[in-house]
Amino acid sequence: MCARFQSLPKESHFITVKRIMRYLKGTTNMGLWYPRDASLALVGYSDSDFAGCKLDRKSTSGTCHLLGSSLVAWHSKKQACVALSTAEAEYIVVGVCCAQILWMKQQLKDFGITLEKIPIKCDNTSAINLSKNLVLHSRTKHIEIRHHFLRDHVQKGDCVLEFVETSKQLADIFTKPLPRDTFYTLRRELGILDEKYLA
């Protein structure tokens, strides 16, 4: 987020960077935990904050991918266009998540691991319904065509969109500031643990 203002930073940005540095200094004993006996079930989580940027009203996409209980990929980026609804913002990020899953699926296939019907967890029922509806109608005309490839892969069975409650949405941590307890809970769910718990 701070990198967006690196060409012309203000004092508020320096204060924020100092806060980030304090957080990093306080978490040097934390890391990603990859258990030896983890399953090879791949699952994706996708989330967005609708019009989260105060300057241009663009949404931020956030995805994460777990192999078993191990976090193997994550993504957080501002969307290229302004979404006109939460459904559109979520639909765009589910497409990004699906593209990453297709790439990971191909990589795993090279190692002799074949996966089908990989679940993508989404907390927006409208985005899930859009991906299952093959008919383009007036409510989806404004969404760029390139985002509709998701429908093909849902129909083929490469990905399966599943609803998850917002409180259990792991990708939430990549899109918006959260209360401390929620942040710590999601961080732990992603497998980011203190080394004293691993001993």
Report how far apart the first and last C-alpha atoms of the chain are (Å, whole number). 34
Report which residue type is found at 29: N
Which of 124, 129, 120 lies closest to 97, judged by CA? Answer: 120
Distances in Å between the Cα of 91 and the Cα atoms of 10, 29, 185 are 34, 37, 26
Tens place of pLDDT per residue across the chain (199 aa): 788 888 999 999 999 999 999 999 999 999 898 888 878 899 999 999 887 777 788 889 999 999 988 999 999 998 888 888 888 888 889 989 999 999 999 999 998 989 989 999 999 998 888 887 766 555 565 566 566 667 777 777 788 899 999 999 999 999 988 999 999 999 999 988 887 665 5
CATH fold of 35-198, please? Nucleotidyltransferase; domain 5 (3.30.420)
Contact 92, 115 (CB under 8 A): no
Lookup result for tokens 């989580």: 45
Q: Token digits for 147? A: 């985002």
Q: What global pTM score does this model have?
A: 0.86
